[in-house]
A and B are shown apart, each in its own frame.
Chain A
Amino acid sequence: MNEKNIIICRCEDVTLQDIYRLMNEGYTSFEELKRILRIGMGPCQGNTCGQLLQREIAKFLEVPLDQVKTQKVRPLTTGVKLKSIVEATKNER
Protein backbone atom coordinates (compact mmCIF):
# COMPACT_ATOMS: atom_id res chain seq x y z
CA MET A 1 0.00 0.00 0.00
CA ASN A 2 1.12 3.53 -0.71
CA GLU A 3 2.64 5.20 2.38
CA LYS A 4 0.71 8.31 1.48
CA ASN A 5 -2.54 6.43 2.08
CA ILE A 6 -1.60 4.97 5.44
CA ILE A 7 -2.88 7.18 8.22
CA ILE A 8 -0.93 6.93 11.46
CA CYS A 9 -2.62 9.77 13.38
CA ARG A 10 -6.34 10.04 12.69
CA CYS A 11 -6.89 13.13 14.80
CA GLU A 12 -4.36 15.28 12.97
CA ASP A 13 -4.30 13.40 9.67
CA VAL A 14 -0.65 12.38 9.64
CA THR A 15 0.44 9.72 7.15
CA LEU A 16 3.25 7.20 7.20
CA GLN A 17 4.83 9.17 4.39
CA ASP A 18 4.92 12.34 6.54
CA ILE A 19 6.65 10.36 9.26
CA TYR A 20 9.24 8.76 6.98
CA ARG A 21 10.02 12.14 5.51
CA LEU A 22 10.67 13.69 8.91
CA MET A 23 12.63 10.70 10.18
CA ASN A 24 14.85 11.06 7.14
CA GLU A 25 15.35 14.70 8.11
CA GLY A 26 16.68 13.48 11.46
CA TYR A 27 13.66 13.73 13.77
CA THR A 28 13.39 10.28 15.28
CA SER A 29 11.54 10.60 18.59
CA PHE A 30 7.85 10.93 19.39
CA GLU A 31 8.30 14.39 20.94
CA GLU A 32 10.23 15.78 17.97
CA LEU A 33 7.81 14.38 15.39
CA LYS A 34 4.85 15.63 17.40
CA ARG A 35 6.17 19.17 17.55
CA ILE A 36 6.42 19.44 13.78
CA LEU A 37 3.65 17.17 12.50
CA ARG A 38 1.14 17.60 15.37
CA ILE A 39 1.01 13.81 15.60
CA GLY A 40 -0.54 12.86 18.96
CA MET A 41 -1.78 16.39 19.66
CA GLY A 42 -5.43 15.72 18.83
CA PRO A 43 -8.39 14.61 20.95
CA CYS A 44 -7.08 11.09 21.57
CA GLN A 45 -3.71 12.43 22.74
CA GLY A 46 -1.67 9.67 21.13
CA ASN A 47 -3.74 6.79 22.43
CA THR A 48 -4.19 5.53 18.87
CA CYS A 49 -0.98 6.57 17.14
CA GLY A 50 1.41 6.19 20.07
CA GLN A 51 2.17 2.52 19.59
CA LEU A 52 2.04 2.68 15.80
CA LEU A 53 4.61 5.43 15.81
CA GLN A 54 6.74 3.66 18.38
CA ARG A 55 6.92 0.64 16.05
CA GLU A 56 7.81 2.78 13.03
CA ILE A 57 10.58 4.57 14.93
CA ALA A 58 11.99 1.27 16.20
CA LYS A 59 12.02 -0.12 12.65
CA PHE A 60 13.63 3.02 11.28
CA LEU A 61 16.35 3.17 13.93
CA GLU A 62 16.73 -0.62 13.98
CA VAL A 63 16.46 -0.79 17.76
CA PRO A 64 14.25 -2.92 20.03
CA LEU A 65 10.75 -1.53 20.66
CA ASP A 66 11.36 -0.99 24.36
CA GLN A 67 14.13 1.51 23.59
CA VAL A 68 11.68 3.87 21.91
CA LYS A 69 9.78 6.23 24.20
CA THR A 70 6.09 6.89 23.58
CA GLN A 71 4.34 10.19 24.23
CA LYS A 72 4.27 11.88 27.62
CA VAL A 73 0.85 11.43 29.17
CA ARG A 74 -0.72 14.61 30.53
CA PRO A 75 -4.23 15.48 31.71
CA LEU A 76 -6.97 15.41 30.56
CA THR A 77 -7.66 11.75 29.86
CA THR A 78 -10.65 12.70 27.79
CA GLY A 79 -11.94 16.03 26.46
CA VAL A 80 -13.97 18.00 29.01
CA LYS A 81 -15.82 21.22 28.29
CA LEU A 82 -14.49 24.33 30.05
CA LYS A 83 -18.00 25.10 31.32
CA SER A 84 -18.27 21.62 32.85
CA ILE A 85 -15.10 22.32 34.78
CA VAL A 86 -16.55 25.63 35.97
CA GLU A 87 -19.74 23.85 37.05
CA ALA A 88 -17.76 21.21 38.89
CA THR A 89 -15.86 23.84 40.89
CA LYS A 90 -19.20 25.31 42.06
CA ASN A 91 -20.29 21.97 43.46
CA GLU A 92 -17.17 21.78 45.57
CA ARG A 93 -18.09 24.67 47.79
Chain B
Amino acid sequence: MNAEIVIIGAGISGVSIAYNLANKGVKNIVVFDSEYLTSGSTGRCGAGVRQQWGTKMNCLLAKKSVEFFEKAQEVLQYPRDIEFKQEGYLIVATNELEDEQFTKNVLLQQSLGIPVKKLTPLEAKQIVPHLNIDKIVSATYCKTDGHLNPFTMTEAYYLAAKRLGVTFYFHEKVTDIIVENNKIQKVITNKREVQTHKVVNAAGGYSKEVAKLANVDVPVFSENHEILVTEPIEKIQGPMVISFALNIYCQQVPHGSFIMGRSDPFMPHSHNIESSWKFLDEMAKTAVGLLPPLGELRVVRQWGGLYNISPDRQPIIGGTKELEGFYLACGFSGHGFMFAPMTGLLLSEIILEEPTTIDINELHLDRFKDGDFNAYETSVV
Protein backbone atom coordinates (compact mmCIF):
# COMPACT_ATOMS: atom_id res chain seq x y z
CA MET B 1 0.00 0.00 0.00
CA ASN B 2 1.18 3.54 -0.61
CA ALA B 3 -0.01 7.00 0.46
CA GLU B 4 0.70 10.57 -0.55
CA ILE B 5 0.53 11.59 3.11
CA VAL B 6 0.06 9.62 6.31
CA ILE B 7 -1.52 11.44 9.26
CA ILE B 8 -1.00 9.90 12.69
CA GLY B 9 -3.90 10.66 15.04
CA ALA B 10 -7.62 11.23 14.48
CA GLY B 11 -8.26 13.84 17.13
CA ILE B 12 -9.54 17.28 16.16
CA SER B 13 -6.07 18.22 14.80
CA GLY B 14 -5.68 15.14 12.60
CA VAL B 15 -9.18 15.33 11.11
CA SER B 16 -8.85 19.06 10.42
CA ILE B 17 -5.50 18.55 8.70
CA ALA B 18 -6.93 15.67 6.64
CA TYR B 19 -9.97 17.72 5.64
CA ASN B 20 -7.95 20.79 4.66
CA LEU B 21 -5.47 18.80 2.57
CA ALA B 22 -8.25 16.90 0.81
CA ASN B 23 -10.16 20.12 0.30
CA LYS B 24 -7.12 21.49 -1.53
CA GLY B 25 -7.20 18.49 -3.84
CA VAL B 26 -4.63 16.17 -2.27
CA LYS B 27 -5.43 12.54 -3.08
CA ASN B 28 -4.52 9.35 -1.27
CA ILE B 29 -4.43 10.67 2.30
CA VAL B 30 -4.40 7.99 4.98
CA VAL B 31 -5.13 8.58 8.68
CA PHE B 32 -4.26 6.08 11.41
CA ASP B 33 -5.54 6.12 14.96
CA SER B 34 -4.58 3.55 17.55
CA GLU B 35 -8.06 3.78 19.05
CA TYR B 36 -11.32 5.36 17.85
CA LEU B 37 -12.45 8.82 16.76
CA THR B 38 -12.02 11.36 19.63
CA SER B 39 -10.47 8.75 21.94
CA GLY B 40 -7.60 11.10 22.83
CA SER B 41 -7.65 14.54 24.46
CA THR B 42 -10.26 15.74 21.98
CA GLY B 43 -12.99 13.52 23.43
CA ARG B 44 -12.05 14.54 26.97
CA CYS B 45 -11.79 18.29 26.62
CA GLY B 46 -13.97 21.27 27.51
CA ALA B 47 -14.10 22.31 23.84
CA GLY B 48 -14.06 25.95 24.86
CA VAL B 49 -13.16 28.52 22.23
CA ARG B 50 -11.81 31.88 23.29
CA GLN B 51 -10.03 34.71 21.58
CA GLN B 52 -8.94 36.38 24.81
CA TRP B 53 -5.27 35.47 24.89
CA GLY B 54 -2.10 37.12 26.13
CA THR B 55 -0.02 36.57 22.98
CA LYS B 56 -0.76 37.97 19.55
CA MET B 57 -0.24 34.57 17.91
CA ASN B 58 -2.80 32.80 20.11
CA CYS B 59 -5.29 35.66 19.62
CA LEU B 60 -4.99 35.38 15.84
CA LEU B 61 -5.18 31.58 15.76
CA ALA B 62 -8.32 31.68 17.90
CA LYS B 63 -9.97 34.55 16.03
CA LYS B 64 -9.56 32.94 12.62
CA SER B 65 -10.71 29.62 14.05
CA VAL B 66 -13.88 31.19 15.49
CA GLU B 67 -14.63 32.56 12.03
CA PHE B 68 -14.54 28.97 10.76
CA PHE B 69 -16.55 27.47 13.64
CA GLU B 70 -19.30 30.02 12.91
CA LYS B 71 -19.87 28.48 9.47
CA ALA B 72 -18.56 24.95 10.09
CA GLN B 73 -21.99 23.33 10.19
CA GLU B 74 -22.72 24.53 6.62
CA VAL B 75 -19.24 24.28 5.13
CA LEU B 76 -18.79 20.72 6.33
CA GLN B 77 -22.43 19.85 5.51
CA TYR B 78 -22.78 18.09 8.82
CA PRO B 79 -26.07 16.26 9.48
CA ARG B 80 -25.86 16.37 13.31
CA ASP B 81 -25.30 19.46 15.48
CA ILE B 82 -21.85 20.83 16.36
CA GLU B 83 -23.57 22.75 19.19
CA PHE B 84 -21.58 25.96 18.87
CA LYS B 85 -22.86 27.98 21.82
CA GLN B 86 -21.46 31.43 21.18
CA GLU B 87 -22.34 33.25 24.36
CA GLY B 88 -18.91 34.42 25.33
CA TYR B 89 -16.18 33.85 27.87
CA LEU B 90 -16.21 35.85 31.07
CA ILE B 91 -12.69 35.95 32.49
CA VAL B 92 -12.55 37.27 36.03
CA ALA B 93 -9.59 39.06 37.65
CA THR B 94 -9.26 38.34 41.35
CA ASN B 95 -6.30 40.58 42.22
CA GLU B 96 -4.63 43.83 41.10
CA LEU B 97 -1.89 42.03 39.23
CA GLU B 98 -4.38 40.16 37.08
CA ASP B 99 -6.42 43.29 36.61
CA GLU B 100 -3.36 45.11 35.20
CA GLN B 101 -2.48 42.20 32.95
CA PHE B 102 -6.06 42.04 31.64
CA THR B 103 -6.02 45.74 30.79
CA LYS B 104 -2.98 45.05 28.60
CA ASN B 105 -4.52 41.89 27.13
CA VAL B 106 -7.71 43.73 26.20
CA LEU B 107 -5.74 46.43 24.36
CA LEU B 108 -3.89 43.77 22.39
CA GLN B 109 -7.07 41.86 21.64
CA GLN B 110 -8.97 44.97 20.56
CA SER B 111 -6.09 46.00 18.30
CA LEU B 112 -6.59 42.67 16.51
CA GLY B 113 -10.31 43.28 16.04
CA ILE B 114 -11.52 40.96 18.81
CA PRO B 115 -14.78 42.30 20.32
CA VAL B 116 -13.69 42.20 23.95
CA LYS B 117 -14.37 44.65 26.75
CA LYS B 118 -13.32 45.20 30.32
CA LEU B 119 -16.14 45.03 32.89
CA THR B 120 -16.69 46.10 36.48
CA PRO B 121 -17.80 43.36 38.90
CA LEU B 122 -21.38 44.67 38.70
CA GLU B 123 -21.38 44.57 34.92
CA ALA B 124 -20.04 41.02 35.09
CA LYS B 125 -22.87 40.07 37.41
CA GLN B 126 -25.38 41.26 34.86
CA ILE B 127 -24.03 38.69 32.44
CA VAL B 128 -23.67 35.87 35.00
CA PRO B 129 -26.15 36.62 37.81
CA HIS B 130 -24.95 33.80 40.07
CA LEU B 131 -21.33 35.07 40.06
CA ASN B 132 -19.93 35.81 43.53
CA ILE B 133 -18.45 39.25 42.93
CA ASP B 134 -16.84 39.42 46.39
CA LYS B 135 -14.13 37.32 44.81
CA ILE B 136 -13.41 39.56 41.85
CA VAL B 137 -11.79 42.89 41.00
CA SER B 138 -12.82 43.13 37.36
CA ALA B 139 -13.56 40.95 34.35
CA THR B 140 -13.16 40.80 30.62
CA TYR B 141 -15.84 39.57 28.26
CA CYS B 142 -15.86 38.62 24.60
CA LYS B 143 -19.27 37.70 23.32
CA THR B 144 -18.12 35.78 20.26
CA ASP B 145 -16.19 33.24 22.35
CA GLY B 146 -17.98 30.04 23.33
CA HIS B 147 -17.83 26.28 23.25
CA LEU B 148 -18.73 23.35 21.02
CA ASN B 149 -19.56 19.69 21.29
CA PRO B 150 -16.11 18.11 20.82
CA PHE B 151 -17.50 14.80 19.55
CA THR B 152 -19.77 16.15 16.86
CA MET B 153 -17.34 18.89 15.78
CA THR B 154 -14.68 16.26 15.24
CA GLU B 155 -17.10 13.97 13.47
CA ALA B 156 -18.11 16.85 11.19
CA TYR B 157 -14.51 17.16 9.95
CA TYR B 158 -14.15 13.39 9.79
CA LEU B 159 -17.24 12.83 7.63
CA ALA B 160 -16.32 15.72 5.33
CA ALA B 161 -12.78 14.36 4.95
CA LYS B 162 -14.14 10.90 4.17
CA ARG B 163 -16.45 12.34 1.52
CA LEU B 164 -13.40 13.97 -0.06
CA GLY B 165 -11.72 10.59 -0.28
CA VAL B 166 -9.56 10.42 2.87
CA THR B 167 -9.08 6.86 4.19
CA PHE B 168 -9.24 6.31 7.96
CA TYR B 169 -7.98 3.25 9.82
CA PHE B 170 -9.00 3.00 13.47
CA HIS B 171 -7.63 0.64 16.11
CA GLU B 172 -4.40 0.69 14.14
CA LYS B 173 -1.27 1.92 15.87
CA VAL B 174 1.75 3.35 14.09
CA THR B 175 4.70 1.43 15.47
CA ASP B 176 7.56 2.68 13.29
CA ILE B 177 8.58 5.26 10.73
CA ILE B 178 11.33 4.09 8.39
CA VAL B 179 13.81 6.75 7.30
CA GLU B 180 16.54 6.15 4.71
CA ASN B 181 18.99 8.75 3.40
CA ASN B 182 17.23 11.34 5.52
CA LYS B 183 13.96 10.74 3.74
CA ILE B 184 10.81 9.05 5.04
CA GLN B 185 10.21 5.75 3.21
CA LYS B 186 7.57 3.87 5.14
CA VAL B 187 5.11 3.97 7.98
CA ILE B 188 4.59 0.69 9.79
CA THR B 189 1.51 -0.12 11.83
CA ASN B 190 0.49 -3.22 13.77
CA LYS B 191 -1.46 -4.28 10.66
CA ARG B 192 0.35 -3.03 7.54
CA GLU B 193 3.20 -1.17 5.85
CA VAL B 194 2.59 2.01 3.89
CA GLN B 195 5.05 3.52 1.41
CA THR B 196 5.05 7.28 1.86
CA HIS B 197 7.38 10.27 1.94
CA LYS B 198 5.19 12.54 4.04
CA VAL B 199 4.03 12.04 7.61
CA VAL B 200 2.03 14.35 9.88
CA ASN B 201 2.42 13.81 13.61
CA ALA B 202 -0.94 14.77 15.18
CA ALA B 203 -0.68 12.22 17.98
CA GLY B 204 -1.62 14.60 20.82
CA GLY B 205 -0.39 13.31 24.17
CA TYR B 206 1.79 10.79 22.35
CA SER B 207 3.39 13.17 19.84
CA LYS B 208 6.80 13.00 21.52
CA GLU B 209 6.79 9.21 21.30
CA VAL B 210 5.63 9.28 17.68
CA ALA B 211 8.33 11.82 16.73
CA LYS B 212 10.91 9.54 18.31
CA LEU B 213 9.91 6.81 15.83
CA ALA B 214 11.40 9.12 13.18
CA ASN B 215 14.33 10.11 15.41
CA VAL B 216 13.06 13.65 15.81
CA ASP B 217 13.20 15.17 19.28
CA VAL B 218 10.21 17.31 20.24
CA PRO B 219 10.47 19.07 23.64
CA VAL B 220 6.91 18.47 24.81
CA PHE B 221 5.50 16.53 27.74
CA SER B 222 2.06 15.27 28.74
CA GLU B 223 0.16 15.59 32.00
CA ASN B 224 -3.26 14.64 33.30
CA HIS B 225 -5.92 17.35 33.57
CA GLU B 226 -9.13 16.45 35.31
CA ILE B 227 -12.65 17.63 34.64
CA LEU B 228 -16.18 16.82 35.80
CA VAL B 229 -19.79 17.04 34.70
CA THR B 230 -22.98 17.61 36.70
CA GLU B 231 -26.59 16.65 36.19
CA PRO B 232 -28.44 18.92 33.71
CA ILE B 233 -30.61 21.84 34.82
CA GLU B 234 -32.49 24.62 33.03
CA LYS B 235 -30.25 27.19 31.40
CA ILE B 236 -28.82 29.66 33.93
CA GLN B 237 -25.37 30.45 32.50
CA GLY B 238 -24.54 31.83 29.06
CA PRO B 239 -20.76 32.28 28.99
CA MET B 240 -17.88 30.09 30.02
CA VAL B 241 -16.58 31.55 33.31
CA ILE B 242 -12.86 31.28 33.97
CA SER B 243 -10.28 32.49 36.46
CA PHE B 244 -6.54 31.89 36.16
CA ALA B 245 -5.78 32.80 39.77
CA LEU B 246 -8.61 30.73 41.26
CA ASN B 247 -7.81 28.01 38.72
CA ILE B 248 -11.21 27.19 37.25
CA TYR B 249 -13.16 27.07 34.02
CA CYS B 250 -16.88 26.35 34.13
CA GLN B 251 -19.50 26.18 31.38
CA GLN B 252 -23.11 25.12 31.01
CA VAL B 253 -23.42 23.08 27.82
CA PRO B 254 -26.61 23.17 25.69
CA HIS B 255 -27.61 19.80 27.16
CA GLY B 256 -27.99 21.59 30.52
CA SER B 257 -25.15 20.03 32.47
CA PHE B 258 -22.21 22.00 33.84
CA ILE B 259 -18.69 21.01 32.86
CA MET B 260 -15.81 22.33 34.94
CA GLY B 261 -12.11 21.76 35.34
CA ARG B 262 -8.95 23.03 36.98
CA SER B 263 -5.23 22.27 36.87
CA ASP B 264 -2.99 20.71 39.45
CA PRO B 265 0.37 22.52 39.48
CA PHE B 266 2.04 19.46 41.03
CA MET B 267 0.84 16.97 38.47
CA PRO B 268 3.71 14.72 37.38
CA HIS B 269 4.49 14.34 33.67
CA SER B 270 2.94 11.09 32.49
CA HIS B 271 0.26 9.51 30.32
CA ASN B 272 -1.98 8.72 33.29
CA ILE B 273 -5.60 9.88 32.84
CA GLU B 274 -7.21 8.51 35.99
CA SER B 275 -9.52 10.39 38.36
CA SER B 276 -8.57 11.60 41.84
CA TRP B 277 -10.53 12.61 44.96
CA LYS B 278 -8.15 15.53 45.39
CA PHE B 279 -9.39 17.08 42.16
CA LEU B 280 -13.00 16.57 43.20
CA ASP B 281 -12.43 18.32 46.55
CA GLU B 282 -10.57 21.29 45.10
CA MET B 283 -12.95 21.65 42.17
CA ALA B 284 -16.01 21.63 44.42
CA LYS B 285 -14.53 24.30 46.71
CA THR B 286 -13.47 26.55 43.86
CA ALA B 287 -16.74 26.26 41.94
CA VAL B 288 -19.01 26.79 44.92
CA GLY B 289 -16.86 29.74 46.06
CA LEU B 290 -17.10 31.56 42.72
CA LEU B 291 -20.53 30.37 41.55
CA PRO B 292 -22.37 29.51 44.81
CA PRO B 293 -25.70 28.14 43.48
CA LEU B 294 -23.81 25.39 41.65
CA GLY B 295 -23.40 23.76 45.06
CA GLU B 296 -26.89 22.32 44.58
CA LEU B 297 -25.81 20.35 41.51
CA ARG B 298 -24.94 16.68 41.68
CA VAL B 299 -21.69 15.56 40.11
CA VAL B 300 -22.38 12.72 37.70
CA ARG B 301 -18.90 11.84 36.53
CA GLN B 302 -15.29 12.97 36.59
CA TRP B 303 -12.59 12.01 34.12
CA GLY B 304 -9.16 13.02 32.90
CA GLY B 305 -7.27 13.76 29.70
CA LEU B 306 -3.83 14.84 28.57
CA TYR B 307 -2.47 18.31 28.00
CA ASN B 308 0.52 18.08 25.66
CA ILE B 309 2.67 20.98 26.81
CA SER B 310 5.41 22.89 24.97
CA PRO B 311 8.08 25.05 26.66
CA ASP B 312 6.31 28.33 25.79
CA ARG B 313 2.78 26.90 25.99
CA GLN B 314 2.15 27.73 22.35
CA PRO B 315 1.59 25.00 19.75
CA ILE B 316 4.21 23.56 17.45
CA ILE B 317 2.86 23.68 13.90
CA GLY B 318 5.12 23.16 10.87
CA GLY B 319 7.74 21.02 9.20
CA THR B 320 11.05 19.95 10.73
CA LYS B 321 14.54 20.86 9.52
CA GLU B 322 15.88 17.47 10.66
CA LEU B 323 13.66 15.39 8.44
CA GLU B 324 12.12 16.40 5.13
CA GLY B 325 8.46 15.47 4.87
CA PHE B 326 7.90 15.21 8.63
CA TYR B 327 5.33 17.65 9.99
CA LEU B 328 4.18 18.46 13.52
CA ALA B 329 0.89 19.62 15.00
CA CYS B 330 1.33 19.18 18.74
CA GLY B 331 2.22 20.89 22.02
CA PHE B 332 -1.14 22.62 22.17
CA SER B 333 -0.74 23.03 25.93
CA GLY B 334 -4.44 22.65 26.73
CA HIS B 335 -5.93 24.72 23.93
CA GLY B 336 -5.66 22.68 20.78
CA PHE B 337 -9.35 22.17 20.26
CA MET B 338 -10.12 25.81 19.61
CA PHE B 339 -7.16 26.25 17.24
CA ALA B 340 -7.96 23.19 15.11
CA PRO B 341 -9.46 25.01 12.11
CA MET B 342 -6.25 27.04 11.78
CA THR B 343 -4.01 24.09 12.59
CA GLY B 344 -5.50 22.25 9.63
CA LEU B 345 -5.50 25.19 7.25
CA LEU B 346 -1.98 26.38 8.08
CA LEU B 347 -0.37 22.96 8.06
CA SER B 348 -1.99 22.12 4.72
CA GLU B 349 -0.58 25.37 3.33
CA ILE B 350 2.88 24.53 4.66
CA ILE B 351 2.78 20.99 3.27
CA LEU B 352 1.70 22.25 -0.16
CA GLU B 353 4.29 25.05 0.02
CA GLU B 354 1.65 27.75 -0.36
CA PRO B 355 1.85 31.16 1.34
CA THR B 356 0.34 30.83 4.82
CA THR B 357 -2.85 32.68 5.86
CA ILE B 358 -0.98 34.13 8.83
CA ASP B 359 2.77 34.13 9.44
CA ILE B 360 3.47 31.27 11.81
CA ASN B 361 7.25 31.08 11.66
CA GLU B 362 7.32 31.51 15.41
CA LEU B 363 5.44 28.22 15.84
CA HIS B 364 8.27 26.23 14.21
CA LEU B 365 10.01 23.55 16.27
CA ASP B 366 13.31 25.40 15.82
CA ARG B 367 12.30 28.15 18.24
CA PHE B 368 13.29 25.89 21.13
CA LYS B 369 16.75 25.03 19.77
CA ASP B 370 18.47 28.21 20.87
CA GLY B 371 15.93 29.15 23.52
CA ASP B 372 14.85 31.77 21.03
CA PHE B 373 11.22 32.03 22.11
CA ASN B 374 9.90 35.04 23.93
CA ALA B 375 6.09 34.95 23.79
CA TYR B 376 5.26 32.88 26.88
CA GLU B 377 1.51 32.44 27.22
CA THR B 378 0.34 33.09 30.79
CA SER B 379 -3.42 33.10 30.21
CA VAL B 380 -4.00 29.40 30.83
CA VAL B 381 -5.93 27.22 33.26
Within 8 A of B (CB), among A1-37: 29, 31-32, 35-36
Contact B80 A82 (CB under 8 A): no
Contact B295 A75 (CB under 8 A): no
Q: Within 8 Å of chain A (Cβ to Cβ): is B255?
A: yes
- Contact among B39, B275, B302 with A31 in the assembled complex (CB-CB below 8 Å): B39
Per-position 1/0 for A52-84, Cβ under 8 A of B: 000000000000000000000011100111110
Contact A81 B298 (CB under 8 A): yes
Give bound CA distance, A17 to B230, whole Å.
Answer: 27
Contact A36 B80 (CB under 8 A): yes
Count of interface residues, chain A, beta-carbon cutoff 8 Å: 22
- Contact among A29, A81, A85, A88 with B296 in the assembled complex (CB-CB below 8 Å): A81
Known A-B contacts A85-B280, A85-B281; A76 and B295 likewise in contact (beta carbons under 8 Å): no
Q: Within 8 Å of chain A (Cβ to Cβ): is B38?
A: yes
Contact A82 B287 (CB under 8 A): yes
Contact A29 B36 (CB under 8 A): yes
Residues of A within 8 Å of B255, CB to CB, are 38
Contact B288 A36 (CB under 8 A): no
Known A-B contacts A74-B275, A74-B303; A36 and B231 likewise in contact (beta carbons under 8 Å): no
Give bound CA distance, A35 to B301, whole Å.
Answer: 14
- Contact among B43, B152, B280, B299 with A79 in the assembled complex (CB-CB below 8 Å): B299
Residues of B within 8 Å of A74, CB to CB, are 275, 301-303
Contact A86 B288 (CB under 8 A): yes
Contact A75 B298 (CB under 8 A): no
- Chain A residues engaging chain B, CB cutoff 8 angstroms: 29, 31-32, 35-36, 38, 41-43, 45, 74-76, 79-83, 85-86, 88-89
- Chain B residues engaging chain A, CB cutoff 8 angstroms: 36-39, 43, 80, 151-152, 155, 229-231, 255, 275, 277, 280-281, 284-285, 287-288, 294-303
